[in-house]
Amino acid sequence: MTEGNFVDYVKIYVASGKGGKGSSHLHREKFIEKGGPDGGDGGRGGHVIVRGSKNLWTLFHLKFLRHVKSGHGGDGGSSRSTGHDGEDKIIEVPLGTVVKDKETGEVLFEITEDGETKILARGGKGGLGNWNFRSSTNQTPRYAQPGIPGEEVDVILELKVLADVGLVGFPNAGKSTLLSVLTSAKPKIADYAFTTLKPNLGIVAYRDFQSFVIADIPGIIEGAAEGKGLGHYFLRHIERNSTLLFLVPADAADIKKEYEILLDELRRYNPEMLDKDRLVVISKCDMLDDELQAELKVQLDKDFKGTEFMFISSVAQQGLTELKDKLWKMLNA
C-alpha cells in the first residue's frame, strides 16, 4: 500500500431518514358511506450504520465521502397499511476505527470486531395513523401523527492500527529496514529523517505457521506529544499494541537519553502506554566490533536496570531470529 492510499482520519456529515407520516384516512367502500378510521402508520426512517470489516486496512475508501444520508420512511396508507421503512446506509470501516463527535470530541464508539455494527444516526420513528386514536368517545378521529425527524451529526473517523508489536524510535533509527527484513512489507527506505510518513504494517511469519503483526509508525521526536514533527499524528496507532519495541541505533550519541525521551513522549501522550511490555533493541550493531559491543553491553546493563535489551543488525541479518523468539514469548506470556 502506497503512502497516499493510507488514510486514517476522515470527517463525514451523516443524516438519518425521517419517519413517514401516519394516515388520517377514513374507510370508504360501496354501501359503507361512513366507515371508521383505517389510516396506517408511517414507516421508520433509515439508519446510518457503521460496520467493521476485516478486509479493510485503511479509511481510503471514505476519503472523498463528505455526506451520508439514509432514506426517508414512507407515509401510511388506507386499510391500515404501514409505510415502507427508509433504506439504511452502511459505512464499512477497518477494525480499530474510533468514531467521535466532531463538535465535542466525545468518543461515540469503537469498532474492533469483524461484522460488528453500531447505529451512528438512528432513523426517525414513523407517525401513528388515525386508527390508533379511535375510542368510544372519538370514533372518527381525523388526525394522525407526523413522522419524527432523523438525526444529523458531524463525525470524525479515526483509525488506530491493530497490531501486536509497535515500533517506536527516532527518525532514521532503522524501523522501516527492520520491518522489511522481518516481514514481506515493502516500506520506503532512505537515508534521511521522516522517510516514513504513514504507518506500515507487516506480518511476521513464525514457526509452525504462526504469525504476529508489527507496525512501523513515523519517527517520534522530542515534543511530539505537543504536536512537533509528525509523531503526534500517529502516536494513537501504538495505543492498541500489546508490546512496544524501542529501536535505538548503536551510533546514537546517548542511547539511554534517546530511550528516556521516547518513553517520556509516550507518557505525556497517554500514561497507560507505560504499562505495556517493552523491549529495547540496539540496531545497526554491525557497526560495532565484538570488543565495542561487549563494552556497550556492560554500560547498558547499568543504564537499563529491569528493562530487557538486545543487539541486532537488519542489514547483516544478525539477532533477528532471537528477536522474533523474544517477541513471540512476550506476546504469549
Residue 218 is assigned to a ligand binding site: yes
Residue 55 is assigned to a ligand binding site: no
Burial class (CB in 10 A: 0-12, 13-18, 19+), 194: middle
Residue 329 is assigned to a ligand binding site: no
Amino acid at 218: P
Rounded to whole angstroms, the Cα distance separating 316 from 250 reads 14
Alpha helices in 110-254 (DSSP H): 175-182, 231-234
Angle (CA) 2 204 62, round 5°: 35
Residue 64 is assigned to a ligand binding site: no
Residue 112 is assigned to a ligand binding site: no
What size, in residues, is the chain? 333
Residue 183 is assigned to a ligand binding site: no
Residue 211 is assigned to a ligand binding site: no
Are 73 and 147 in contact by the 8 Å Cβ rule? The answer is yes
Residue 314 is assigned to a ligand binding site: yes
Closest by alpha carbon to 166, among 157, 158, 174, 175? 175
- Look up residue 78 and give its three cell numbers: 388506507
Residue 184 is assigned to a ligand binding site: no
DSSP 230: T
Residue 195 is assigned to a ligand binding site: yes
Residue 198 is assigned to a ligand binding site: yes
Residue 172 is assigned to a ligand binding site: yes
Residue 194 is assigned to a ligand binding site: yes
Give DSSP secondary structure letters for 107-149.
EEEEE-STT-EEEEEPPPPPPPPGGGG--SS-SS----PPPPP
Beta strands across the sheet bearing 67-69:
67-69, 9-15, 152-159, 97-101, 107-111
Residue 132 is assigned to a ligand binding site: no
**Cα–Cα distances in angstroms (integers) from residue 327 to residues 150, 209, 216, 307, 319, in the given order:** 49, 16, 15, 14, 12
Residue 283 is assigned to a ligand binding site: yes
Rounded to whole angstroms, the Cα distance separating 86 from 69 reads 11
Residue 45 is assigned to a ligand binding site: no
Residue 224 is assigned to a ligand binding site: no
Residue 313 is assigned to a ligand binding site: yes
Provide the annotated binding site for Mg(2+). Answer: 176, 196
Provide the annotated binding site for GTP. Answer: 169-176, 194-198, 216-219, 283-286, 313-315
Provide the annotated binding site. Answer: 169-176, 194-198, 216-219, 283-286, 313-315
